[in-house]
Copies of this chain bind each other. A is one copy, B any other.
């Protein structure tokens, strides 16, 4: 499907920035903006397990729209989870509240790898339906589709749940590289298939989350992860939608993550955006990077940080404002709204011709 966006979408600040064109203001959205920080989210989700919620278009549409309504952000992000496509394709995984993805039978051998398969559109009619309805309701606001990158998804499947050190995953990489590559290869297919479903249904950008890649040395990333992530980006290139790539703690990896095929590189709070631009090497739009902890420090501490980030973002051919990681569940929605308005307004005035 070629990219044929309605004019209003094409001129949206998010897509202009993601393409390195000049937007009317610096666009803003927040990773995990559709989530627990919003009381209206908690109300909708009450009593409904995460993975069940993701199969119900009424819930997915409502939750995805909530932050757009409340904050006036420049993009919606599809409400899903990186393990959702595995579950939809029959893999036994659950999401435990306050913990994250948990796998009853972690993958340790070829039999385990064999249990992983990509979704087909027939597996996820609710995804297609949700995206189509969202695109229709969102009008000129772009919808970002998303998927988990092979390493981060693999870490849950191999460790059995969230991990601090990824010891079993790294032991598999180094101790049985063939097994590792067969798993990562399948997970690349999973990501490709899930992103394809979302883009075919109308998502106008995609973000591939390799949230935990920062736990790897650049050497390990290049050898064990980059080829698989590159295949994901390459496989969706023909859609012509911007491809964003993000992980926390990836200061050492920004050049490689960019080289994997990202059109836009997400940056956490540790590396200033202008320094990130230098590490990326080739001129590309960047996304980020307010430290989420600053949300709790009071407006007087936040405002100068926003000014600094907007100034540093000018080093890139495009800047999408975001946090340096997801919205913390206990964040104050009023603060996020104020940040949205401030960034949109401050960046607009800066663009007024002299």
Residues of A participating in the B interface, judged by any CB pair closer than 8 Å: 165-171, 173-175, 214, 216-220, 249, 251-252, 269-272, 291-298, 300-301, 325, 328
Contacts and interface: CB of A to CB of B under 8 A. Distances in A.
30 contacts: A165-B292, A165-B325, A165-B328, A166-B293, A167-B292, A167-B293, A167-B296, A167-B328, A168-B296, A169-B293, A170-B294, A170-B296, A170-B297, A171-B293, A171-B296, A171-B298, A174-B294, A174-B297, A174-B301, A175-B298, A175-B301, A214-B270, A217-B269, A217-B291, A218-B270, A219-B272, A220-B291, A249-B249, A251-B251, A252-B270
A295 B218 CA distance: 19
A131 B193 CA distance: 61
Nearest to A269: B217
Given A168-B296, A217-B272, 19 more contacts: A165-B292, A167-B293, A167-B295, A167-B328, A170-B293, A170-B296, A171-B294, A174-B294, A174-B298, A174-B301, A175-B300, A175-B301, A214-B270, A216-B270, A217-B269, A217-B270, A217-B291, A218-B270, A220-B291
| Chain A interface SS verdict (over half) | helix
Q: How many copies does the complex hold?
A: 2
A180 to B, nearest CB: 11
A252 B296 CA distance: 24
A301 B176 CA distance: 9
Nearest to A301: B174
